[in-house]
Amino acid sequence: MLIALLISSFVFFGGDAAAKVYVDVNSPNFRLFSIAICDFNTADAGIVSKSGNLGVALADEIKMYLKLTGLFNPLNKKSFLDDKFINPVIFANWMMIGADYLVKGTVEQSEQEISNECRLYDVVKGEVLFNKKYTAGRDDLKALAKNIATDILFTLTGEEGDFDTQIAFVAKKGDKGDIYTVGYDGSDLKTVTGHRSIIIAPRWSPNGQFLAFTSFKNDVPAIYIRDLSSGAERKVASFQGINLCGYWSPDGQKLLMTLSKDGNEELYVLEVQNMRLKRLTSNYSIDVSPSWSPDGKKIAFVSNRGGSPQIYTMDADGGNVKRITFEGSYNTTPAWSPRGGRIAFEGLVNHRFQVFTIGEEGDNLSQLTFDAADNESPSWSPSGRQIAYSSRTGSKSKICVMNANGTNVRILREGGGFAMMPMWSPRLK
Amino acid sequence: MTFPMFDNGYSRKDPNFYNMLLLSLVAHFTAIIIVLFSVPSAPRHLTFGPVYSVSLVGPQGIPAKSQESSSLVKEIEQADIAGEAANSFIYKKQINQSVSVPIEKADTDRISIEKAINAIRRKGLAQRMSSNSLPRNNSGGRTDRMAAAGGASISETSGGTAAGGSGGQASDYAGFVSSRVHSNWSIPPELKPKSNIVTVIEIRIRRDGLLAYAAFEKRSGNKIYDESAMKAVKKSAPFPPLPAAYPSGIMEIGIRFHPSQLR
């Protein structure tokens, strides 16, 4: 007994008091990646002629692209303590101004091309994350900047981003409308169709080659598939009553649609190759706006079978129908996130439509827009990080883009008319 | 069968043998206890009882960023003021060597030092009065939510070995570390993990406050999240020197990173 006492007293008093301590740190601060982008160095390029500010222009383009992602905060270069010439990099001077990452490099312009060397540094760890050489056509600074921005984003997040995407939308002047596309950065506006008629619901095929839509170009609604490279159009549905275009299946083989040929609006799926049509829903209520899940196993749609328009999901064959929205009296236009897990839709709040997202099981409802406008037709970017939507006030409607949590709203297209029904393209290479 | 040299005349059957043995043990044990209690220059980690020996961390050790000193920082500083003046001088010297402070911040630092010291004096007095009733260092885990630390909390896995003041100091110090790491921890809102994951990073801090080691003890699997946590740790270093009474040359802290308060 005494020996036990001795041993225990030894353990108690003589033991190592330096036990490992665990601490908990909860809830990270929300801050964008702060990145310092130096003007690219053009000094040693004797061949550079009229490109005195090429390095500045390239840095500005990269900044612009990174900003669009809603993940980056490019620092103002007036705050830089070191300039582009200081080598090797003194990381403490960049950390002092709050930079997490640093981009430096050189750029040269020859008669044929722009060549560029770019390094991305992790300022906190003091290491180079990548050092790459790029080339682009002599006047293709934008493409060069886009490639660099893509690499920066991929290095830091492992994601490809949405730089190489377009957003299709319907622009209306009076009654006449057409489908247009615009680049991710809001530039490069193009007209796609020349129908000058009522035209709605543009839907990209997953490979970006086709655009399906409903057009009244022959005065009755019909669904067309347009080959974007050749401009050829194929009419795939022109039944009695409504022919409303839905989403493509993720494998690009099938197209969902809403038809009223059998009485009221029901959902159908069309096999595009062999034109086989299959009915998915069958009841006395209206079923519209079908959207595939990214794995192609489920379909979200709108039905008023419960008394008011609400979002439902079902299996791809039409079985296992489940209502997922219960808040609000009017929820419509579901769009399934390409990342899976969430469905965006528009819902009526205080006589205004606002964009929401909800978990695919009906959990975690989240309202994303709150302004005094009708915010409608949400469409996800391929990365699933951003959502395009139309924002309508009075007789004006613009296309906006926001992060999938409702922040970082920017206007993509505005002015001169009525822009609506944005549909984000897949990545186009 | 015994060797002749052990044969000292006592027979095992003699009850005196056991009495003597018992007496001897008691005498030895008493002697050891007396020695332990009476030698003042015994090594610190052999000292027991509620001796509150503490070190002056010194506000210079705290980076300019945390000037709006949270109450956690104050708590650490409060412990400092109880330390001996002689010690504080030495530690200030050490801090000047290891921690670089922008010169232009010196004045504001001085003001904040004085403020902090006053606050500490008041708080320290109050604490000394009530320190006996403070439930510190229970065996097993202690989860202490420090509201002012901005979402940082400490749980100490003392396993019954943490002793008196130095254990309390260790957890105060760890609390300071966690609050500083939290202030440096950020992630773009869009990239916040949707599910409840946890990343654990083990760090070792040298006596002079330098970060000697930082590595993942457990990865969450979310690369961006893990990276943000490691970045927070690296940004937070160097730390203030370890408390003087801390018995080891290196403090090991496991930092658990949770995406939200609810877990």
* Separation of alpha carbons A161 and A211, rounded Å: 22
- B57 phi, psi to nearest 5 deg: -75, -40
Per DSSP, B237 falls in state P
What residue spans define the domains of chain A?
10-157, 166-424
The answer to whether A153 faces chain B, any CB pair under 8 Å, is no
CA distance A17 to chain B (A): 5
Work out whether the CA dihedral A401, A256, A263, A308 comes out positive or negative.
negative
Token pair of B47 as six digits: 């000292």
Q: Which fold has domain A10-157?
A: Rossmann fold (3.40.50)
The amino acid at residue A48 is: V
| Rounded-to-integer distance, Cα A120 and Cα A33, Å | 13
Q: Looking at chain A from residue 45 to 74, which residues have their Cβ under 8 Å from any Cβ of chain B?
A: 70-72
| Residue B166 confidence class, pLDDT cut points 50, 70, 90 | low
Alpha helices in A15-110 (DSSP H): 54-68, 91-96
Q: What pLDDT was estimated at residue A175?
A: 78
Q: Which of A180, A179, A173, A184 is nearest to A150 (CA)?
A: A184
Least Cα distance to A348 among A376, A322, A390 occurs for A376
Q: Which pairing describes strands A298-303 and A310-315: parallel, antiparallel, or unpaired?
A: antiparallel
Q: What share of chain B in percent tops pLDDT 70?
A: 44
Mean pLDDT of A403-418: 85
Alpha helices, H only, A48-199 = 54-68, 91-96, 141-157
Pairing of strands A331-336, B211-218: unpaired
Are B193 and A26 within 8 A, CB to CB?
no
Query: Choosing among A9, A10, A24, which should be mutated to test the B contact, i.e. which has the most B CBs within 10 A?
Result: A24
pLDDT of residue B154: 53
Are B247 and A17 inside 8 Å of each other by CB? yes
Distance (Å, whole) CA A201 – CA A247? 9
CATH class of the structural domain A166-424 = mainly beta
Report the alpha-carbon angle B227-B233-B239, nearest 5: 170
Q: Structure tokens of A36?
A: 């310092």
pLDDT recorded at residue B131:
37
Task: Give the H/E segment covering residue B61.
Answer: none
Show residues of chain A in contact with B188, CB under 8 Å.
30-33, 70-72
| pLDDT, tens digit, 9 for 90 and up, residues B196-205 | 899 999 999 9
Residue B163 with chain A: CB contacts under 8 Å = 12-13, 17
Q: Tell me whether residues A18 and B170 touch, CB distance under 8 A.
A: yes
Q: How far does the CA of residue A331 sit from the closest CA of chain B (Å)?
A: 24
The residues with which B85 forms a beta bridge, in sequence order, are none
Please state, in angstroms and rounded to a whole number, the distance separating the CA atoms of residues A372 and A387. 19
Q: Is A216 helix (H, G, I), strand (E, B) or coil?
A: coil
State which residue of chain A sits closest to B177, comparing Cα positions.
Answer: A23
Q: Quote the pLDDT of residue A170.
A: 93
Whether A6 and chain B come into contact, CB under 8 Å, resolves to yes
Q: Does A406 touch chain B (CB under 8 A)?
A: no
Residue A32: closest CA among A77, A78, A80, A68:
A68
CB nearest to A28's CB, from B46, B158, B228? B228
Q: Does A284 touch chain B if contact means CB atoms closer than 8 Å? A: no
**pLDDT at A283 (0 to 100):** 87
Residue B146's pLDDT is: 38
- Work out how many CB contacts closer than 8 A connect A with B: 163
* Whether B234 and A16 lie within 8 Å, measured CB to CB: no
Task: Identify the weakest region by mean pLDDT among A209-223, B120-134, B156-170.
Answer: B120-134
Task: Check A23 against B234: CB less than 8 A apart.
Answer: no
Please list the alpha-helical segments (H only) found in A97-179: 141-157
Inter-residue contact B56 to B81 (CB < 8 Å): yes
C-alpha closest to that of B250 among B199, B192, B207, B216: B207
DSSP state, residue A64 = H
Residues A53-86: b if buried by 16+ CB within 10 A, e if exposed: ebbbbbbbbbbebbbbbbbbbbbebeebebebee
In sequence order, the 6+-apart residues with CB closer than 8 A to the CB of B262 are B196
Our CA-based measurement puts residue A402 at a distance from the nearest CA of chain B, in whole angstroms, of 11
**pLDDT computed for residue A213 by the predictor:** 95
Q: Whose CA is closest to A332, among A377, A369, A365, A292?
A: A377
pLDDT tens-digit readout, A306-340: 999 999 999 999 999 999 999 999 999 999 999 99
Question: How many C-beta atoms lie closer than 10 Å to residue A234's C-beta?
Answer: 13
**Cβ A192 vs Cβ A203: under 8 Å:** no
As a whole number of angstroms, the distance between CA A122 and CA A386 comes to 26
ipTM exceeds 0.95, yes or no: no
B87's tokens: 């010690």
Q: How far is it, in rounded angstroms, from Cα A412 to Cα A390?
A: 10
Whether A75 and A98 have beta carbons less than 8 Å apart is answered as yes
Rounded to a whole number of angstroms, the distance from the CA of B257 to the nearest CA of chain A is 5
Query: Which residues of chain A neighbour B159 with C-beta distances below 8 Å?
Result: 19
Least confident interval from A125-139, A259-273, A356-370, B143-157 = B143-157
CB contact under 8 A, A21 and B156: yes
d(CA A161, CA A180) in angstroms, rounded, equals 22
The per-residue DSSP string of B80-107 comes to HHTS-HHHHHHHHHHHHHH----GGGHH
Question: What pLDDT is stored for residue B125 in this prediction?
Answer: 47
pLDDT digits (tens, 9 = 90+) for A8-33: 443 333 334 457 888 899 988 888 99
Q: Decide: A280 and A265 in contact? Cβ < 8 Å.
A: no
Contact (CB<8Å) B152/A21: no
What confidence tens digit (pLDDT) does each residue in A279-313 have? 999 888 999 999 999 999 999 999 999 999 999 99
DSSP string, A237-264: E--SS-EEEEEEPTTSSEEEEEE-TTSS
CB atoms within 10 A of CB A400: 22
Q: What is the mean pLDDT of chain A?
A: 88
Which one is predicted more confidently, A245 or A49?
A245
Most confident range (mean pLDDT) of A7-21, A123-137, A408-422 is A123-137
- Its pTM stands at 0.70
Identify which of A56-70, B19-33, B96-110 has the greatest average pLDDT: A56-70
Nearest CA in chain B to A14: B46
CA B149 to chain centre: 16
Residue recorded with tokens 């406050």: B209
User: Which residues in chain B are closer than 8 Å to A29, comparing Cβ atoms?
Assistant: 182-183, 185-187
CB neighbours of A242 closer than 8 A, spacing ≥ 6? A221, A258, A259, A260, A265
Residue A14 contacts B where some CB pair is shorter than 8 Å: yes
